[in-house]
Chain A
Amino acid sequence: MKRYQNGVWLLAVVLLPMFVVAGSEIRKAAPETRTTESAASSASAMMIIPQHECQFCHSVHGGTGPTLTRAAQYDLLCMSCHNPTAPVGAAPPADYHTEDPQDSNEGTLYSFQIDCVECHVDPPHSLVTNAWGGTQLKLIRDSVTNPSNGTKYAIRFEALSGDYSFCDLGGPDSQNPDWENICDMCHSNIWAERHHNDPVAGNAWNSSNHHRNGATCTGGNCHNHNRGFQLRAAAAAGG
């Protein structure tokens, strides 16, 4: 009997933390607490978004990651659904932000690679409210570290174009030093800096120091996320 009781306690000690973790997320995922980007508010910031149900990534039995995730690597979890070849449902297809892989001599290893969670919240459970009370789109972090200089910047990403978007350098609050845009926090407003001191001679865009302020950088034929933000050849040719 004693051995049996010890066994029960041992089981409880082992399993309880797992259920606490799982249980808390299940409660967050209750239908009445779910929210969407359009209904976002600071009050809803801690609620699980319906696009990321707990069980998509976590498994109580067989989860191999540190929080019972189905994979130990975050990027595998993300890319298993946000895969450009076969995204699941409406999951936006995406690829890593690297140097142009076509410039890489090694094929698989790049001089830099910015993983998903460096720009997107980790874990991607809920909407993010930035320091100004705005809701970050696309689960972008409220602050992101510039991999080049190690500086952490507060980010406002509240729109896909115009002010508070990818690079709204002309907006009314654009010179505020307290925050940055998600793209120009690294790729600043100078054409040459955005393009690694390698301006394209003869390219009409080169005449502007501000490239395409307020544009949806990832839209159209330009810096699509599903190509790691690399400029598509058609766009480079003026397409």
Chain B
Amino acid sequence: MTRLTIPCRRVLAATLLSTVAACVGDSLERSLDPQFSGPRQSVTSGDPSEPMIRPGRLTWAGPSRNFLLVTDHYRGVVYEFKVKHGELVPFREFQFDAGVSGIAWGGDRFFVGNTTTASVAAYRQNGTWMYDLGGPGTFEYPSDIEVDEERDLVFVLDNRRQSIDVFGVNGEPKNTWSASALGMENPVALGIDTVRQELLVSDYGGLGTGSGPFAIHVFDYEGNRLKLISGKLGMLGARFSRPQGTTVDAQGRILMVDALSCELFVIDRESGAVLDIFGEPGTEPGQMLAPLDVAVDADGRAFVTSNRLGRIEVFDVGGGS
């Protein structure tokens, strides 16, 4: 196992803990549409020096994909970082109600799921609300989102309803897939490969009962399963058992974090073989507790949300373009 880290990581950890929100006060955006009312109305964050607490999902953002958006369900905040040479520079934060979950960028907007309000909404990069996806009752617990803007597709995973809803980027509903119809048991997170036009779904399966494996399912955009990468190893063992967020790097390799083993897996898309593993449980640099999502840049730097530690770990996984 090779664990590489980029030089900025130590700086990053300190940065995130001490200066994330210290830099946001001046540029804080709380742009809310008047229609955005009721329980979905934002609340005031109060102390602007509050640290990141429970980072969950993350996504690249901005026309040049040089910003990183990170949700914090505890604070109800979406942090926006500018990424410069692998360093995360706090840029601003958007204050929502508690419960922000999935997030994805597409076109000129970002989509945010909220498990408290059971809704998914689109916002401009400055935080201006644009529209909600679906209507009242469409979602129960929208936990992850992915977008392919070129194909005009937004995928929303609701892991209480056990379904994936497909919309156009402008919000028009296109399809709904039930997890069971797709052969899944406990889907928890999404990833997307816009080059191959494939949707990745992490599935806890039957949690080891044998009724369904821990797995990453690979679907085409029509919902046809192309591949199942099982976490099972042999008869009873497991190489991974709590697959969470996934992404695909410049070489087409699948990156996936395991919330239980606290590892970042690099997986060959064709064979399903584990090519490399980074990280381990713990609180030291390079260690993680309950990682939930991963994003990778063109240089092979993987940014992983370490949920329980309230920080982001950065690994050099190679495979840069």
Binding site for B on A (CB under 8 A): 53, 55-56, 58-62, 70-73, 75-77, 79-81, 83-90, 93, 95, 101-102, 104, 106-108, 224, 226-228, 232-234, 237, 239
Contacts and interface: CB of A to CB of B under 8 A. Distances in A.
B1 interface: no
Contacts of A234: 43, 97
B260 A71 contact: yes
Contacts of A86: 56, 101, 143-144, 159, 188-189, 244, 292
A80 B53 contact: no
Interface size class of B (residues with CB under 8 A): 35 or more
Nearest to A77: B260
A87 B159 contact: yes
B53 A101 contact: yes
Interface stretch (B82-90, B230-238, B246-254): B230-238
Contacts of A83: 259, 290, 292, 307
A108 B43 contact: no
A77 B241 CA distance: 11
A76 B283 CA distance: 13
A164 B75 CA distance: 31
A61 B232 CA distance: 11
A81 B241 CA distance: 11
Interface in B193-212: 204, 206-210
A140 B188 CA distance: 27
Given A107-B311, A108-B309, A53 B74 contact: no
A225 B186 CA distance: 22
A219 B245 CA distance: 29
A77 B188 CA distance: 16
A191 to B, nearest CB: 22
A81 B204 contact: yes
B238 A232 contact: no
Contacts of A73: 281
A227 B98 contact: yes
Given A60-B236, A80-B242, A83-B307, A107 B17 contact: yes
Contacts of B292: 83, 85-86
A228 B308 CA distance: 12
A69 B115 CA distance: 30
B74 A55 contact: no
Interface string B38-59: 0000011111001111101100
B101 A55 contact: no
A85 B54 CA distance: 9
A237 B44 CA distance: 10
Contacts of A102: 46-47, 50-51, 53, 75
Interface string B233-275: 1111110011010000000000000011110000000000000
B67 interface: no
A226 B45 CA distance: 18
Contacts of A89: 159-160, 162, 186
Given A71-B281, A86-B101, A101-B53, A55 B208 contact: yes
A87 B98 CA distance: 16
A61 B236 contact: yes
B112 interface: no
Contacts of B110: none
16 contacts: A56-B207, A61-B235, A61-B238, A70-B208, A83-B259, A83-B290, A85-B307, A87-B159, A93-B115, A101-B51, A107-B51, A107-B53, A107-B310, A107-B311, A108-B17, A233-B46
Interface string B147-186: 0000000000001101000000000000000000000001
A72 B234 CA distance: 22
Contact of A88 (B51, B204, B311): B204
A106 B17 contact: yes
Contacts of A76: 259-260, 262, 281, 289-290
Nearest to A29: B209
B73 interface: yes
Nearest to A62: B237
Contacts of A88: 159, 186, 188, 204, 207
Contacts of B260: 70-71, 76-77, 80
